[in-house]
Amino acid sequence: MLALCLTRGKKWIAPLCGAVTAVAGMILALLARSGAVAPGAEAASTIPFSLGLILTVCGIVITIGGCLPKAKPVPVKTLSMAALFAALCYVGFSLFRIDIPVGDSSTAFHLGNVFCVLAALFLGGTWGGMAGAVGMTIADLMIPAYITSAPKTFLLKLGIGLITGFVAHKIFRISQERTRKIPMAAATAISCAAGMVFNVIADPLVGYFYKMYVLAIPQEAATVWAKMGAVTTAVNALVAVIAATVFYLALRPALKRTKLMPQL
């Protein structure tokens, strides 16, 4: 939907679609909130609430994107790779995860961020961020303990992608073949680190206020979760920087030779 709205049709279609989606999401979230934040709420109550918030965020993104100057059509290759990385993000969180229960909530060590960062290195901030956001959000929605965290996940993973992609492709221009003052390995690692530093700061901070003011969790419980979340997020960030840098440097030459590397 996002790709179609941002690359086809008249200029007013994307903002209109975004506005309708955002309003529909807000209405759904408001109607479902009381059941979702109730003690012992089950998935049947929490999923509509989370979906409503996600639709609201997506609608805002589509509206903003539609108001920007018209972009070039998105190549099928880019969309295909974005879908692939979204699937890898899903697998990285769903299958390679160690849960840490924190009261009625959970945090986790996982490999999802590795592919979120890698997507931004290969696809750029916008599509890399969207791939990470979509893949990780779907993973949250499939696991009962993380359903209510899905809207927060969408925002944060999109932020990781945008920041990593900006540093990698606007500052270091790692996709271009040229003489560099900074070695490719260092430029890649710094780009990954930029996105992960954002996540290390934003994840516990946003999560704290999200749990208190959106999910109505007591302050003491939100504080405990934020402290534990800061630890798991820092470990996940370190793993993501190292692994994504290694994977990118290993895969980049092969994708260049086969002409599968997106032009950024």
pLDDT at 74 over 70: yes
**Phi–psi pair at 96, nearest 5 degrees:** -110, 75
Please say which residue of 34, 53, 70 terminates a domain: 70
Distance separating alpha carbons of residues 5 and 16, to the nearest angstrom: 10
pTM: 0.89
Distance separating alpha carbons of residues 192 and 244, to the nearest angstrom: 7
> What's the number of domains the chain is made of?
2
Please say which residue of 46, 70, 94 terminates a domain: 70
Q: Are residues 63 and 90 both part of a single domain?
A: no
* Predicted pLDDT of residue 177: 78
Q: Are 211 and 217 in contact (CB under 8 A)?
A: yes
Q: Are residues 13 and 102 both part of a single domain?
A: no
- For the segment 86-128, what is each residue's pLDDT rounded down to a tens digit? 999 999 999 999 999 987 788 999 999 999 999 999 999 999 9
Q: Are 157 and 217 in contact (CB under 8 A)?
A: no
* Predicted pLDDT of residue 3: 52
Mean pLDDT over residues 134-153, rounded?
94
Q: Are residues 9 and 50 both part of a single domain?
A: yes
Domain membership of residue 52 as a residue range: 1-70
Give the whole-number percent of the chain exceeding pLDDT 90. 69
125-142 vs 76-94: helix crossing angle, rounded to 10: 40
Q: Element (H or E) spanning 64, and its range?
A: helix 43-67
For residue 218, how many other CB atoms are within 10 A of its CB? 11
| Least confident range of 143-152, 173-182, 208-217, 219-228 | 173-182
* Predicted pLDDT of residue 152: 95
Q: Are residues 10 and 105 both part of a single domain?
A: no
Q: Are residues 161 and 178 both part of a single domain?
A: yes
pLDDT at 206 over 70: yes
**Extended strands (E) in the chain:** 97-102, 105-110
Most distant pair of Cα atoms in the chain: their distance: 59
Query: Residue 160 maps to which CATH number?
Result: 1.10.1760.20
* Predicted pLDDT of residue 260: 84
Higher pLDDT pick, 195 / 40: 195
Q: Are residues 187 and 247 both part of a single domain?
A: yes
Higher pLDDT pick, 57 / 40: 57
Please say which residue of 17, 49, 70 terminates a domain: 70
Q: Are 161 and 85 in contact (CB under 8 A)?
A: no
For residue 123, how many other CB atoms are within 10 A of its CB? 27
Q: What rounded mean pLDDT belongs to the chain? A: 90
